[in-house]
């Protein structure tokens, strides 16, 4: 099998407003996400990880598309889609909220932003929430408009993100709280600026509201960031596994419920509003899940992160699968997220990697330090 190939371009495969700048910055790979090109690397994942933990990066995450829900029944429609309480979300606030269908399956795990009492942006991971939302709205006869606006997020992540944000937008960004946002503009470029992002290193997400300004916004931020050592980056596999940030479609799919995904903290199962998953999740709450997404460490030497379907076993019995894995230079071990069968006990958990090696797998708690070798 050839190891190198190109992705054929067509109008179905959309590029982002930052595409030219991303290419000029030396991107070496993309993946496809929400029918769009998501940059996945400029340098080695280890080098980018090291830089992200000590500096600041600019990420083209325009693939995080917004599904705008606006109108008299906007709140009712968003509430129907998620077990999280959305009525309590203030204008100017974001909430991380799994979308769940009537069988309890996770449809997506977006951030939901409330722009006005009757207007939400559902900032989606990789699945077709636009169609799901339109279907529910049509089926229920709701008074809402559902569409994908011309909005493209750019992330500024890392410990020096505050310095760069202040230089670009002004001192008010320092006082912006986690998961709060403000509508603003610079040089006539309309934006929403939030303190959020798909890393645990802190930072901002800058939602560009007019794609024709993509290059101008990118340049403005990079210019302000140069003296802080800003580099182009991407969501980092190593960092987000360590931080247990779920990648929908990989770690969790429609086959999994919020208990299996470990997302129960983001569910208000007894919220006042009607929601599609109410009955299904109430029934599942009563019995422990048969599998759970766990942090695991995989023993042995540095593992190749490109295997995408790695069954786990205990004494020859199927015990789940690894969905994301990377070698952490900081922890000096292979870290991974895995859907692991409960009730098998965790002793003797093993995986056979694509290179044929048998590795010991250990489930760890919050703390990655509790390792396979102890
Ligand atoms: N930002 C925006 N849209 C997004 C993502 C994002 N859409 C796709 C994807 N990422 C959605 N998934 C997540 C997953 C986790 C978080 C955000 C989006 C997240 N979680 C924090 C955590 O788990 O520690 C905080 C959760 C909380 O305290 O409420 O930030 O990144 N715009």
> Residue 264 maps to which CATH number?
3.30.70.1400
Q: How far is the CA of 59 from the centre of ligand 1 (A)?
A: 15
Crossing angle, helix 214-225 and helix 161-169, to 10 degrees? 120
- Tell me the sheet residues that pair with 320: 312, 340
| 267 and 125, same domain (yes or no) | yes
Query: Which atom of ligand 1 is found nearest the CA of 207?
Result: 32
pLDDT of res. 367: 83
269-322 pLDDT per residue, tens? 999 999 999 999 999 999 889 999 999 999 999 988 776 567 999 988 999 999
Question: Separation of 179 CA from ligand 1 center, angstroms?
Answer: 9
Q: How does DSSP assign 147-180, residue by residue?
A: E--S-EEEEEESTTHHHHHHHHH-THHHHPPTTB
Q: What percent of the chain has pLDDT over 70?
A: 97
pLDDT of residue 309: 67
Q: How many domains does the chain have?
A: 3
pLDDT band for position 371 (cuts 50, 70, 90): very low
Question: Could you tell me how far CA 175 lies from the centroid of its own chain?
Answer: 24
Q: What is the pLDDT of residue 30?
A: 96
Q: Which residues surround ligand 1 with Cβ inside 6 Å?
A: 64, 96, 109-111, 123-125, 153, 196-198, 205, 245-246
In this predicted structure, the answer to whether residue 223 has a pLDDT above a threshold of 50 is: yes
Lookup result for tokens 């302000």? 224
On whether residue 216 sits in a domain, the answer given is yes
Residue 374 has pLDDT above 80, yes or no: no
Of 20-24, 92-96, 318-322, 343-347, the poorest mean pLDDT is in 343-347
Residues 168 and 141 in one domain: no
Residue labelled with tokens 């599998």: 291
Answer yes or no: is 1 within a domain. no
How far, in Å, CA of 153 to CA of 62, rounded? 5
Q: Which domain holds residue 83?
A: 66-145+257-286
CATH number of the CATH domain containing 320 = 2.40.30.110
pLDDT reading at 21 higher than 80: yes
Residue range 112-132: average pLDDT?
A: 98
**Nearest Cα residue to atom 23 of ligand 1:** 245
């Amino acid at each position: 099998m050839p190891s190198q190939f190109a992705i054929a371009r067509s109008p179905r495969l959309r590029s982002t407003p930052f595409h030219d700048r991303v290419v000029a910055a030396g991107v070496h790979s993309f993946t496809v996400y929400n029918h769009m090109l998501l940059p996945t690397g400029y340098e080695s994942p280890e080098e980018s990880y090291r830089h992200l933990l000590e500096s600041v990066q600019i990420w083209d995450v325009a693939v995080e598309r917004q599904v705008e829900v606006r109108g008299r029944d906007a709140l009712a429609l968003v509430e129907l889609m998620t077990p999280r309480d959305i009525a309590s979300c203030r204008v100017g606030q974001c909430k991380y909220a799994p979308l769940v269908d009537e069988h309890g399956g996770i449809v997506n795990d977006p951030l939901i932003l409330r722009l006005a009492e009757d207007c939400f942006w559902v900032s989606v991971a990789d699945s077709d929430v636009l169609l799901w939302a339109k279907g529910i709205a049509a089926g229920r006869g709701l008074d809402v408009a559902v569409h994908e606006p011309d909005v493209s997020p750019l992330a500024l992540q890392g410990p020096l993100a505050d310095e760069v944000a202040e230089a670009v937008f002004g001192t008010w960004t320092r006082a912006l709280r986690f998961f709060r946002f403000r509508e603003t503009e610079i040089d006539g470029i309309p934006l929403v600026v939030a303190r959020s992002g798909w890393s645990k290193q802190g930072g901002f997400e800058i939602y560009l509201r007019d794609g024709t300004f993509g290059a101008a916004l990118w340049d403005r931020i990079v210019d302000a960031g140069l003296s802080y050592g800003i580099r182009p980056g991407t969501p980092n596999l190593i960092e987000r596994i360590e931080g247990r940030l779920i990648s929908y479609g990989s770690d969790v799919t429609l086959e999994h419920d919020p208990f299996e995904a470990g997302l129960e903290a983001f569910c208000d199962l007894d919220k006042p509003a009607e929601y599609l998953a109410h009955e299904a999740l109430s029934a599942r709450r009563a019995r422990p899940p048969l599998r759970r997404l766990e942090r695991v460490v995989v023993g042995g030497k540095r593992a190749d992160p490109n295997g995408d379907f790695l069954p786990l076993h205990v004494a020859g019995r199927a015990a789940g699968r690894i969905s994301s894995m990377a070698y952490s230079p900081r922890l000096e071990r292979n870290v991974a997220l895995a859907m692991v069968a409960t009730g098998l006990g965790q002793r003797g958990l093993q995986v056979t990697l694509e290179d044929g090696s048998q590795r010991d797998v250990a489930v760890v708690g919050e703390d990655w330090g509790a390792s396979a070798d102890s």
